[in-house]
Amino acid sequence: MKVAFYLADQNPQRDRSLGITGYTDGLLRALVADESVTISGLGAKGAYRAPAGVAMHLLPFSTAGGANRFLADNLHPFIRRIEADIWHYPKGHLPLAGRYRQPVIGTVHDLILQHYADRYPTDRSAAAYRYWLTVLKRSIPRFDLILTISKFSEAAIREFCDRHRLHCPEIRVTYLGFHVETKSDAPIAKQDVVVHLASRELHKRTATLLEFWEQLSQVEQELPLLKLIGNLRAADQARVARVRGIEICGRLNRKDLESEIAQARALIFPSEIEGFGLPAVEAYALGTPVVYVLGTAVEEVLGEGTRGGFLLDDFETFRSALQAALELPHPFIEQHAVQLASRFSWARCAAATLAAYRQATGT
């Protein structure tokens, strides 16, 4: 089977989130190991570079600029043709018009864009929301089959289609795989530290965590050091300055990030919406439990009932969840990590994806 991937819309140097590129890279590396398929990619100069084994075809221009990106996303079927039995759009965005003769599959990771349009309408321009929501509304009904990365996201896609009165194709949940570079067979010595992947993205709720931590500092005599890894908004930086026991680390490379998580007593992950919640799975693989928001994809992925869950905007449940995570014994964390590794791998994701390809092509 010949599979073509559209990759020119992924630019790790410019994109708001690297999660989709991580998914694309992990899936492609698993797919090229399967001799039953040959993989081609349509990319562009400066965009994501596919791994060895993917036959790359490049558009004659870069997609770094907005105008070129618009042209590439909407005209690439006419600019560069690739022989394929099926097309896969791992970012979930089809050209606004036209249709392939071959089946087309798209991975729709989440509906965070609609969440932002509803909850944070001033975070982006009205024109940006209108354009990207139009892209989604034009893309989703025209896929022959949709892949997504959690049941939480599947429900969000169906709700989106109902809301906008769109045809909803069949949806298959493939979940994600993951990989950590610094996993150790022996337990890593823990420091009296908890970590948070700080972000300027509002749904990551860094501001909520800082508010809770300020409250904790007023009622708890002893707290672990809170390390903020990443970037903060100006208002969050101002709050850090007046709360004891917080350290800003900035952005770290992959190796140093994993080392910080592995040495921490817990990862605090208060995101209000995720497609999957990969940092939570990676933290357990590194021997670190997670404090997370109940009712999100993170709860689905970690498993219902996993200790450390709290209700968003409820300080007392956060306080209890933090304590529960800090008290988890190492044997439980280790066993849970093994269970997560057995459920989420790129080999399993690739196998589910190949099954979708075969269904769509009737082979």
Q: Which pLDDT band, with edges at 50, 70 and 90, does 17 fall under? A: low
In this predicted structure, the answer to whether residue 183 has a pLDDT above a threshold of 90 is: no
Are 152 and 203 part of one and the same domain?
A: no
Are 171 and 266 part of one and the same domain?
A: no
pLDDT at 280: 99
pLDDT at 288: 98
Q: Which pLDDT band, with edges at 50, 70 and 90, does 16 fall under? A: low
Q: Which pLDDT band, with edges at 50, 70 and 90, does 18 fall under? A: confident
Give 204's DSSP letter.
Answer: G
In a domain, 182, yes or no: no
Are 41 and 163 part of one and the same domain?
A: yes
In a domain, 186, yes or no: no
Q: Which pLDDT band, with edges at 50, 70 and 90, does 181 fall under? A: confident
Mean pLDDT of 188-208: 96
Are 296 and 349 part of one and the same domain?
A: no
Are 165 and 37 part of one and the same domain?
A: yes
CA distances from 61 to 24, 45, 46, 50, 179 (A): 22, 7, 9, 17, 33
pLDDT at 182: 73
Tokens of 122: 């001033």
Give 141's DSSP letter.
Answer: G
Burial class (CB in 10 A: 0-12, 13-18, 19+), 329: exposed
Are 152 and 212 part of one and the same domain?
A: no
User: For residue 239, which phi and psi values (nearest 5 degrees)?
Assistant: -65, -40
Are 141 and 262 part of one and the same domain?
A: no
CA distances from 77 to 38, 66, 84, 294, 295 (A): 19, 19, 12, 42, 40
pLDDT in tens, 91-130: 999 998 877 889 999 999 999 999 999 999 999 999 999 9
Are 159 and 297 part of one and the same domain?
A: no
Are 33 and 59 part of one and the same domain?
A: yes
**Full residue range of the structural domain in which residue 333 is found:** 193-343
pLDDT in tens, 335-355: 999 999 999 999 999 999 999
Average pLDDT value for the chain: 95
pLDDT in tens, 248-278: 999 999 999 999 999 999 999 999 999 999 9
The number of folded domains in the chain is: 2
CATH number of 303's domain: 3.40.50.2000
Are 124 and 14 part of one and the same domain?
A: yes
pLDDT at 296: 98
pLDDT at 15: 63
In this predicted structure, the answer to whether residue 318 has a pLDDT above a threshold of 90 is: yes
Are 304 and 355 part of one and the same domain?
A: no
Are 349 and 312 part of one and the same domain?
A: no
